[in-house]
Amino acid sequence: MLNRVQKRNLTKRDYVTLSSMIFALFFGAGNLIFPLHLGQLAGGHWGIAAAGFLITAVLLPLLSVLAVCVTKSKGVYDIGKPLGATFAVVFMVLIHFTIGPFFGTPRTATVSFTVGLAPFFPAKYQSLALLLFSAAFFGLAYYLSVEQSKIMARVGKLLNPLFLLLLVAIFAVAFSSPLAHAGSTSATAAYQTAGFTNGFLQGYNTMDALAGLALGVTIVTAVNFMGQTDPNKAAWVTARAGFFSMAFEGLIYVLLILLGAQSLGQFKLSDNGGVAFDQIVNHYMGNVGQAILAVLIITTCLTTAIGLVAAFAQDFHKHFDFLSYKAWLRITCLASFLTANVGLNQIIAWSTPVLMFLYPLAMALIFLSILSPLFHKSSVVYVWVVVFTVVPAVFDMVAAFPAVVSQSTFGQAMAHVQSFLPLASSGMDWLVPALVGAVFGTAHYLLLQRAKASTGMEVPMKR
Protein backbone atom coordinates (compact mmCIF):
# COMPACT_ATOMS: atom_id res chain seq x y z
CA MET A 1 0.00 0.00 0.00
CA LEU A 2 2.84 2.41 0.88
CA ASN A 3 4.29 1.93 -2.60
CA ARG A 4 1.28 3.79 -3.98
CA VAL A 5 1.67 6.77 -1.61
CA GLN A 6 2.63 9.98 -3.41
CA LYS A 7 5.80 11.57 -2.04
CA ARG A 8 5.43 15.25 -1.10
CA ASN A 9 6.66 17.94 1.26
CA LEU A 10 4.60 18.48 4.38
CA THR A 11 2.78 21.74 5.04
CA LYS A 12 2.38 23.49 8.40
CA ARG A 13 -1.14 22.09 8.52
CA ASP A 14 0.25 18.58 8.07
CA TYR A 15 2.61 19.12 11.01
CA VAL A 16 -0.24 20.38 13.18
CA THR A 17 -2.32 17.32 12.31
CA LEU A 18 0.59 14.96 12.96
CA SER A 19 1.48 16.66 16.25
CA SER A 20 -2.19 16.46 17.25
CA MET A 21 -2.25 12.74 16.47
CA ILE A 22 0.93 12.04 18.46
CA PHE A 23 -0.43 14.00 21.42
CA ALA A 24 -3.73 12.14 21.25
CA LEU A 25 -2.05 8.73 21.05
CA PHE A 26 0.00 9.47 24.16
CA PHE A 27 -2.53 11.39 26.20
CA GLY A 28 -5.05 8.93 27.51
CA ALA A 29 -6.38 7.34 30.67
CA GLY A 30 -3.48 7.68 33.06
CA ASN A 31 -2.45 11.05 31.69
CA LEU A 32 -5.53 12.67 33.21
CA ILE A 33 -5.88 10.84 36.50
CA PHE A 34 -2.27 10.38 37.65
CA PRO A 35 -1.06 14.02 37.50
CA LEU A 36 -4.26 15.15 39.22
CA HIS A 37 -3.73 12.61 42.00
CA LEU A 38 -0.06 13.59 42.19
CA GLY A 39 -1.12 17.17 42.88
CA GLN A 40 -3.25 15.99 45.79
CA LEU A 41 -0.44 13.86 47.18
CA ALA A 42 2.17 16.61 46.85
CA GLY A 43 0.01 19.53 48.04
CA GLY A 44 2.23 22.56 48.64
CA HIS A 45 5.21 20.62 47.27
CA TRP A 46 3.49 20.25 43.90
CA GLY A 47 6.22 22.13 42.01
CA ILE A 48 9.12 19.84 42.88
CA ALA A 49 6.89 16.77 42.41
CA ALA A 50 5.86 18.08 38.99
CA ALA A 51 9.53 18.43 38.01
CA GLY A 52 10.15 14.75 38.73
CA PHE A 53 6.92 13.72 37.03
CA LEU A 54 7.76 15.65 33.85
CA ILE A 55 11.01 13.73 33.45
CA THR A 56 9.37 10.31 33.23
CA ALA A 57 6.04 11.47 31.77
CA VAL A 58 7.28 13.98 29.16
CA LEU A 59 11.06 13.90 28.67
CA LEU A 60 11.34 10.12 28.48
CA PRO A 61 8.44 9.73 26.01
CA LEU A 62 10.03 12.44 23.87
CA LEU A 63 13.36 10.62 24.06
CA SER A 64 11.61 7.38 23.11
CA VAL A 65 10.28 9.08 19.97
CA LEU A 66 13.79 10.45 19.28
CA ALA A 67 15.22 6.95 19.84
CA VAL A 68 12.92 5.64 17.12
CA CYS A 69 14.08 8.50 14.88
CA VAL A 70 17.84 8.19 15.55
CA THR A 71 17.85 4.45 14.91
CA LYS A 72 15.34 4.80 12.04
CA SER A 73 13.31 2.11 13.74
CA LYS A 74 9.75 1.17 12.88
CA GLY A 75 8.82 -0.20 16.27
CA VAL A 76 9.90 -1.53 19.62
CA TYR A 77 11.41 -4.65 18.02
CA ASP A 78 14.06 -2.58 16.25
CA ILE A 79 14.98 -0.82 19.50
CA GLY A 80 15.85 -4.17 21.12
CA LYS A 81 17.41 -5.72 18.00
CA PRO A 82 21.07 -4.89 18.94
CA LEU A 83 20.67 -7.44 21.75
CA GLY A 84 19.60 -10.12 19.30
CA ALA A 85 16.40 -11.19 17.61
CA THR A 86 15.22 -13.31 20.56
CA PHE A 87 15.58 -10.48 23.07
CA ALA A 88 13.93 -8.06 20.64
CA VAL A 89 10.88 -10.30 20.21
CA VAL A 90 10.53 -10.97 23.96
CA PHE A 91 10.93 -7.27 24.78
CA MET A 92 8.39 -6.33 22.10
CA VAL A 93 5.86 -8.83 23.42
CA LEU A 94 6.33 -7.67 27.04
CA ILE A 95 5.94 -4.00 26.10
CA HIS A 96 2.88 -4.56 23.93
CA PHE A 97 1.09 -6.77 26.43
CA THR A 98 1.84 -4.31 29.24
CA ILE A 99 0.59 -1.18 27.49
CA GLY A 100 -1.85 -3.34 25.53
CA PRO A 101 -4.42 -5.95 26.56
CA PHE A 102 -3.04 -6.73 30.03
CA PHE A 103 -2.92 -3.23 31.53
CA GLY A 104 -2.72 -0.07 29.43
CA THR A 105 -5.48 -0.57 26.87
CA PRO A 106 -8.09 -1.96 29.33
CA ARG A 107 -7.37 1.04 31.55
CA THR A 108 -8.61 3.37 28.80
CA ALA A 109 -12.06 1.82 29.14
CA THR A 110 -12.12 1.49 32.94
CA VAL A 111 -11.01 5.10 33.49
CA SER A 112 -13.56 6.31 30.94
CA PHE A 113 -16.31 4.48 32.79
CA THR A 114 -15.16 5.17 36.36
CA VAL A 115 -14.69 8.90 35.86
CA GLY A 116 -17.24 9.72 33.19
CA LEU A 117 -20.20 7.36 33.54
CA ALA A 118 -20.12 5.49 36.87
CA PRO A 119 -21.68 8.42 38.81
CA PHE A 120 -24.82 8.04 36.67
CA PHE A 121 -25.39 4.40 37.71
CA PRO A 122 -26.42 2.91 41.08
CA ALA A 123 -23.67 0.77 42.63
CA LYS A 124 -25.55 -2.50 42.04
CA TYR A 125 -25.67 -1.92 38.28
CA GLN A 126 -22.11 -0.72 37.75
CA SER A 127 -20.60 -4.10 36.89
CA LEU A 128 -23.19 -4.65 34.18
CA ALA A 129 -22.81 -1.07 32.96
CA LEU A 130 -19.02 -1.48 32.72
CA LEU A 131 -19.48 -4.70 30.76
CA LEU A 132 -21.78 -3.04 28.22
CA PHE A 133 -19.73 0.15 28.01
CA SER A 134 -16.39 -1.62 27.52
CA ALA A 135 -17.91 -3.79 24.78
CA ALA A 136 -19.10 -0.68 22.92
CA PHE A 137 -15.82 1.15 23.64
CA PHE A 138 -13.56 -1.52 22.15
CA GLY A 139 -15.97 -2.15 19.32
CA LEU A 140 -15.63 1.52 18.38
CA ALA A 141 -11.85 1.40 18.83
CA TYR A 142 -11.73 -1.53 16.42
CA TYR A 143 -13.88 0.26 13.86
CA LEU A 144 -11.79 3.45 13.98
CA SER A 145 -8.43 1.64 13.69
CA VAL A 146 -9.25 -1.09 11.18
CA GLU A 147 -8.21 1.15 8.25
CA GLN A 148 -4.60 2.14 9.00
CA SER A 149 -4.49 4.97 6.47
CA LYS A 150 -7.37 6.80 8.22
CA ILE A 151 -6.09 6.65 11.81
CA MET A 152 -4.34 10.02 11.67
CA ALA A 153 -7.35 11.84 10.24
CA ARG A 154 -9.76 10.30 12.74
CA VAL A 155 -7.55 10.94 15.75
CA GLY A 156 -5.61 14.08 14.82
CA LYS A 157 -8.38 16.01 13.06
CA LEU A 158 -11.53 14.91 14.88
CA LEU A 159 -11.21 13.36 18.34
CA ASN A 160 -8.23 15.29 19.73
CA PRO A 161 -9.54 18.81 18.96
CA LEU A 162 -12.81 17.90 20.69
CA PHE A 163 -10.91 16.69 23.76
CA LEU A 164 -8.76 19.83 23.94
CA LEU A 165 -11.77 22.11 23.63
CA LEU A 166 -13.50 20.43 26.58
CA LEU A 167 -10.34 20.39 28.70
CA VAL A 168 -9.70 24.10 28.12
CA ALA A 169 -13.28 24.80 29.26
CA ILE A 170 -12.68 22.91 32.53
CA PHE A 171 -9.37 24.68 33.15
CA ALA A 172 -10.91 28.09 32.46
CA VAL A 173 -13.67 27.57 35.03
CA ALA A 174 -11.43 25.96 37.68
CA PHE A 175 -8.57 28.45 37.57
CA SER A 176 -10.88 31.48 37.45
CA SER A 177 -12.06 30.52 40.94
CA PRO A 178 -9.42 28.25 42.60
CA LEU A 179 -10.43 26.15 45.57
CA ALA A 180 -7.24 27.05 47.46
CA HIS A 181 -3.78 28.48 47.03
CA ALA A 182 -1.77 25.42 45.99
CA GLY A 183 1.32 26.41 47.99
CA SER A 184 -0.61 26.44 51.27
CA THR A 185 -2.13 22.93 51.01
CA SER A 186 -0.80 19.97 52.98
CA ALA A 187 1.43 17.34 51.43
CA THR A 188 1.48 13.67 52.37
CA ALA A 189 4.50 12.53 54.38
CA ALA A 190 6.28 10.96 51.42
CA TYR A 191 6.10 14.19 49.40
CA GLN A 192 7.29 16.40 52.26
CA THR A 193 10.74 14.83 52.11
CA ALA A 194 11.02 13.24 48.65
CA GLY A 195 8.69 15.09 46.34
CA PHE A 196 10.95 14.91 43.29
CA THR A 197 11.67 11.18 43.55
CA ASN A 198 8.04 10.27 44.17
CA GLY A 199 6.92 12.45 41.29
CA PHE A 200 9.52 10.75 39.10
CA LEU A 201 8.17 7.30 40.00
CA GLN A 202 4.54 8.41 39.53
CA GLY A 203 5.44 9.20 35.93
CA TYR A 204 5.91 5.47 35.34
CA ASN A 205 2.15 5.04 35.65
CA THR A 206 1.45 6.97 32.47
CA MET A 207 3.30 4.19 30.59
CA ASP A 208 4.27 6.79 27.99
CA ALA A 209 7.96 5.90 27.71
CA LEU A 210 6.90 2.34 26.91
CA ALA A 211 4.12 3.62 24.66
CA GLY A 212 6.61 5.79 22.76
CA LEU A 213 8.58 2.71 21.76
CA ALA A 214 5.49 0.72 20.85
CA LEU A 215 3.64 3.54 19.10
CA GLY A 216 6.66 4.21 16.92
CA VAL A 217 5.27 1.82 14.32
CA THR A 218 1.91 3.66 14.22
CA ILE A 219 3.53 7.10 14.04
CA VAL A 220 6.02 6.09 11.33
CA THR A 221 3.22 4.42 9.34
CA ALA A 222 1.17 7.63 9.53
CA VAL A 223 4.20 9.68 8.38
CA ASN A 224 4.69 7.28 5.47
CA PHE A 225 1.06 7.66 4.44
CA MET A 226 1.63 11.43 4.39
CA GLY A 227 4.20 10.93 1.64
CA GLN A 228 7.39 10.78 3.73
CA THR A 229 8.65 7.30 2.89
CA ASP A 230 12.37 8.11 2.99
CA PRO A 231 13.66 6.92 6.42
CA ASN A 232 15.78 10.05 7.04
CA LYS A 233 12.95 12.46 6.19
CA ALA A 234 10.41 10.40 8.11
CA ALA A 235 12.69 10.47 11.18
CA TRP A 236 13.04 14.26 11.01
CA VAL A 237 9.30 14.78 10.58
CA THR A 238 8.53 12.46 13.51
CA ALA A 239 11.09 14.17 15.78
CA ARG A 240 9.80 17.65 14.99
CA ALA A 241 6.14 16.77 15.51
CA GLY A 242 6.99 14.76 18.62
CA PHE A 243 8.74 17.74 20.23
CA PHE A 244 5.73 20.02 19.82
CA SER A 245 3.24 17.41 21.02
CA MET A 246 5.28 16.50 24.12
CA ALA A 247 5.83 20.15 25.06
CA PHE A 248 2.08 20.75 24.94
CA GLU A 249 1.47 17.61 26.97
CA GLY A 250 3.90 18.86 29.62
CA LEU A 251 1.94 22.12 29.94
CA ILE A 252 -1.30 20.21 30.51
CA TYR A 253 0.40 18.01 33.13
CA VAL A 254 1.51 21.04 35.12
CA LEU A 255 -2.01 22.49 35.03
CA LEU A 256 -3.52 19.17 36.16
CA ILE A 257 -1.02 18.82 39.03
CA LEU A 258 -1.74 22.39 40.12
CA LEU A 259 -5.48 21.73 39.91
CA GLY A 260 -5.06 18.64 42.08
CA ALA A 261 -3.14 20.58 44.74
CA GLN A 262 -5.77 23.35 44.77
CA SER A 263 -8.59 20.82 45.17
CA LEU A 264 -7.36 20.03 48.69
CA GLY A 265 -8.95 23.30 49.75
CA GLN A 266 -12.37 21.69 49.27
CA PHE A 267 -11.83 17.90 49.17
CA LYS A 268 -9.85 15.29 51.06
CA LEU A 269 -7.17 13.17 49.39
CA SER A 270 -9.03 10.82 47.04
CA ASP A 271 -8.33 7.16 46.28
CA ASN A 272 -7.33 8.01 42.71
CA GLY A 273 -7.28 10.90 40.27
CA GLY A 274 -10.51 9.74 38.66
CA VAL A 275 -12.46 10.37 41.85
CA ALA A 276 -10.73 13.74 42.29
CA PHE A 277 -11.57 14.84 38.73
CA ASP A 278 -15.20 13.88 39.25
CA GLN A 279 -15.37 15.88 42.49
CA ILE A 280 -13.75 18.97 40.98
CA VAL A 281 -15.93 19.09 37.87
CA ASN A 282 -19.14 18.47 39.82
CA HIS A 283 -18.21 21.24 42.26
CA TYR A 284 -17.89 23.81 39.49
CA MET A 285 -20.47 22.64 36.94
CA GLY A 286 -22.80 20.13 38.58
CA ASN A 287 -24.54 17.65 36.28
CA VAL A 288 -23.56 19.64 33.19
CA GLY A 289 -19.95 19.33 34.25
CA GLN A 290 -20.36 15.60 34.75
CA ALA A 291 -21.69 15.28 31.19
CA ILE A 292 -18.78 17.35 29.84
CA LEU A 293 -16.33 15.24 31.84
CA ALA A 294 -17.86 12.04 30.47
CA VAL A 295 -17.36 13.19 26.87
CA LEU A 296 -13.87 14.52 27.69
CA ILE A 297 -12.61 11.35 29.31
CA ILE A 298 -14.16 8.99 26.78
CA THR A 299 -12.72 11.00 23.89
CA THR A 300 -9.15 11.10 25.18
CA CYS A 301 -9.18 7.48 26.28
CA LEU A 302 -10.59 6.36 22.95
CA THR A 303 -7.80 8.09 21.00
CA THR A 304 -5.17 6.32 23.08
CA ALA A 305 -6.99 3.00 22.76
CA ILE A 306 -6.97 3.39 18.98
CA GLY A 307 -3.22 3.96 18.97
CA LEU A 308 -2.48 1.07 21.32
CA VAL A 309 -4.61 -1.54 19.56
CA ALA A 310 -3.31 -0.43 16.15
CA ALA A 311 0.34 -0.57 17.29
CA PHE A 312 -0.22 -4.01 18.81
CA ALA A 313 -1.79 -5.35 15.62
CA GLN A 314 0.81 -3.73 13.34
CA ASP A 315 3.80 -5.09 15.24
CA PHE A 316 2.34 -8.55 15.81
CA HIS A 317 1.30 -8.90 12.17
CA LYS A 318 4.80 -7.88 11.12
CA HIS A 319 6.54 -10.45 13.32
CA PHE A 320 3.86 -13.14 13.52
CA ASP A 321 2.33 -12.88 10.06
CA PHE A 322 0.33 -16.11 10.24
CA LEU A 323 -2.50 -13.75 11.26
CA SER A 324 -3.55 -10.59 9.44
CA TYR A 325 -3.52 -7.07 10.89
CA LYS A 326 -7.30 -7.23 11.30
CA ALA A 327 -7.11 -10.59 13.09
CA TRP A 328 -4.53 -9.30 15.60
CA LEU A 329 -6.65 -6.18 16.00
CA ARG A 330 -9.68 -8.29 16.91
CA ILE A 331 -7.61 -10.32 19.38
CA THR A 332 -6.22 -7.32 21.26
CA CYS A 333 -9.62 -5.58 21.36
CA LEU A 334 -11.30 -8.71 22.73
CA ALA A 335 -8.56 -9.34 25.30
CA SER A 336 -8.65 -5.70 26.40
CA PHE A 337 -12.43 -5.91 26.83
CA LEU A 338 -12.08 -8.97 29.08
CA THR A 339 -9.32 -7.42 31.21
CA ALA A 340 -11.20 -4.13 31.55
CA ASN A 341 -13.94 -5.87 33.50
CA VAL A 342 -11.51 -6.82 36.27
CA GLY A 343 -11.76 -3.20 37.51
CA LEU A 344 -9.55 -0.10 37.62
CA ASN A 345 -8.02 -0.62 41.08
CA GLN A 346 -6.98 -4.19 40.29
CA ILE A 347 -5.46 -3.15 36.97
CA ILE A 348 -3.40 -0.42 38.67
CA ALA A 349 -2.31 -2.72 41.52
CA TRP A 350 -0.94 -5.43 39.23
CA SER A 351 0.44 -3.14 36.53
CA THR A 352 2.73 -1.23 38.91
CA PRO A 353 5.22 -4.08 39.53
CA VAL A 354 5.42 -4.84 35.82
CA LEU A 355 6.16 -1.18 35.14
CA MET A 356 8.84 -1.15 37.84
CA PHE A 357 10.56 -3.96 35.92
CA LEU A 358 10.10 -2.69 32.38
CA TYR A 359 10.73 1.02 32.88
CA PRO A 360 14.42 0.74 33.84
CA LEU A 361 15.02 -1.54 30.83
CA ALA A 362 13.10 0.83 28.56
CA MET A 363 15.00 3.85 29.83
CA ALA A 364 18.31 2.07 29.33
CA LEU A 365 17.39 1.11 25.76
CA ILE A 366 16.10 4.61 24.98
CA PHE A 367 19.37 6.23 26.02
CA LEU A 368 21.43 3.52 24.31
CA SER A 369 19.47 4.09 21.10
CA ILE A 370 19.98 7.85 21.17
CA LEU A 371 23.70 7.47 21.87
CA SER A 372 24.14 4.48 19.54
CA PRO A 373 25.87 6.49 16.76
CA LEU A 374 28.76 7.06 19.20
CA PHE A 375 29.49 3.34 19.45
CA HIS A 376 28.01 2.15 16.14
CA LYS A 377 25.24 0.15 17.84
CA SER A 378 27.85 -2.23 19.24
CA SER A 379 26.03 -5.11 20.91
CA VAL A 380 28.64 -5.36 23.69
CA VAL A 381 27.63 -1.94 25.08
CA TYR A 382 23.95 -2.93 25.02
CA VAL A 383 24.63 -6.25 26.78
CA TRP A 384 26.64 -4.74 29.63
CA VAL A 385 24.08 -2.02 30.35
CA VAL A 386 21.02 -4.27 30.14
CA VAL A 387 22.53 -7.07 32.26
CA PHE A 388 23.43 -4.59 35.00
CA THR A 389 19.98 -2.98 34.80
CA VAL A 390 17.81 -6.09 34.81
CA VAL A 391 18.90 -7.36 38.26
CA PRO A 392 17.74 -4.33 40.30
CA ALA A 393 14.69 -4.10 38.03
CA VAL A 394 13.65 -7.57 39.24
CA PHE A 395 14.07 -6.42 42.86
CA ASP A 396 11.88 -3.37 42.18
CA MET A 397 9.23 -5.55 40.57
CA VAL A 398 8.99 -7.92 43.53
CA ALA A 399 8.87 -5.03 46.02
CA ALA A 400 6.00 -3.40 44.12
CA PHE A 401 3.76 -6.47 44.00
CA PRO A 402 0.70 -6.59 46.29
CA ALA A 403 1.36 -7.90 49.81
CA VAL A 404 0.63 -11.50 48.85
CA VAL A 405 3.96 -11.46 46.99
CA SER A 406 6.01 -8.59 48.42
CA GLN A 407 5.41 -9.60 52.05
CA SER A 408 5.98 -13.31 51.50
CA THR A 409 9.18 -15.01 52.66
CA PHE A 410 10.54 -14.76 49.13
CA GLY A 411 9.59 -11.09 48.84
CA GLN A 412 11.21 -10.19 52.16
CA ALA A 413 14.40 -12.03 51.22
CA MET A 414 14.55 -10.08 47.95
CA ALA A 415 13.94 -6.82 49.82
CA HIS A 416 16.83 -7.58 52.18
CA VAL A 417 19.25 -8.08 49.30
CA GLN A 418 17.88 -5.00 47.52
CA SER A 419 18.53 -2.80 50.56
CA PHE A 420 22.29 -3.03 49.90
CA LEU A 421 21.96 -1.34 46.49
CA PRO A 422 22.53 2.42 46.20
CA LEU A 423 19.31 4.50 46.00
CA ALA A 424 17.20 1.45 46.93
CA SER A 425 15.05 3.44 49.35
CA SER A 426 13.98 5.81 46.57
CA GLY A 427 13.15 3.15 43.97
CA MET A 428 16.08 4.21 41.80
CA ASP A 429 18.40 1.31 42.61
CA TRP A 430 18.79 0.47 38.91
CA LEU A 431 20.52 3.77 38.10
CA VAL A 432 24.00 3.15 39.53
CA PRO A 433 24.24 -0.43 38.17
CA ALA A 434 23.15 0.85 34.73
CA LEU A 435 25.89 3.49 34.79
CA VAL A 436 28.43 0.89 35.89
CA GLY A 437 27.30 -1.30 33.02
CA ALA A 438 27.74 1.64 30.66
CA VAL A 439 31.31 2.14 31.87
CA PHE A 440 32.18 -1.54 31.43
CA GLY A 441 30.39 -1.67 28.09
CA THR A 442 32.22 1.39 26.78
CA ALA A 443 35.57 0.02 27.97
CA HIS A 444 34.83 -3.32 26.29
CA TYR A 445 33.87 -1.54 23.06
CA LEU A 446 37.06 0.56 23.09
CA LEU A 447 39.19 -2.54 23.65
CA LEU A 448 37.52 -4.21 20.69
CA GLN A 449 38.11 -1.07 18.62
CA ARG A 450 41.79 -1.19 19.53
CA ALA A 451 41.90 -4.88 18.64
CA LYS A 452 40.29 -4.09 15.31
CA ALA A 453 42.84 -1.38 14.59
CA SER A 454 45.76 -3.70 15.33
CA THR A 455 44.47 -6.94 13.76
CA GLY A 456 41.81 -5.84 11.29
CA MET A 457 39.07 -7.81 13.13
CA GLU A 458 35.48 -6.54 13.00
CA VAL A 459 33.90 -5.17 16.17
CA PRO A 460 30.73 -7.14 17.06
CA MET A 461 27.72 -4.97 16.38
CA LYS A 462 24.14 -5.07 15.22
CA ARG A 463 23.13 -2.77 12.39
pLDDT of residue 440: 95
Torsion sign over Cα 244, 246, 249, 255: negative
CATH 1.10.1200.10, domain 10-340, yes or no: no
Q: How many CB atoms lie within 10 A of CB 43?
A: 24
Angle between helices 160-176 and 12-26 (to 10 degrees): 70
pLDDT of residue 282: 84
List the chain pLDDT tens, one digit each, 463 residues: 444 555 666 777 778 878 877 887 777 767 888 899 999 999 999 999 999 999 988 888 888 878 877 777 777 888 888 999 899 899 888 888 888 888 888 888 888 888 778 878 888 888 899 999 999 999 989 988 887 666 555 555 566 677 778 788 888 888 988 888 888 888 898 898 889 989 988 887 777 887 777 777 677 777 777 777 777 777 788 788 888 888 888 999 999 999 999 999 888 888 777 788 888 888 888 878 778 878 878 887 888 888 889 889 988 998 898 999 999 999 999 999 998 887 656 777 777 788 888 888 988 998 898 888 888 888 999 999 999 999 898 888 888 787 777 788 888 888 888 888 888 777 778 889 999 999 999 999 999 888 887 775 555 555 4
Does the model's pTM come out above 0.85?
A: no
H or E segment and range at residue 241: helix 231-262
Q: How far, rounded to the nearest angstrom, does the alpha carbon of residue 150 sit from its chain's CA centroid?
A: 23
Q: What is the DSSP string of 64-111?
A: HHHHHHHTT-SSHHHHHGGG-HHHHHHHHHHHHHIIIIITHHHHHHHH
Cα separation, 312 vs 46, in Å, equals: 35
The per-type count for the chain, helices as H runs and strands as E runs, is 22, 0
Q: Where are the domains of the chain?
A: 10-340, 343-455
Which residues are CB-neighbours of 459 under 8 A, at least 6 positions away?
Answer: 376, 378, 445, 448, 449, 452
Q: What is the DSSP string of 267-305?
A: SPPPSSHHHHHHHHHHHHHHHHHHHHHHHHHHHHHHHHH
pLDDT of residue 243: 86
pLDDT of residue 311: 85
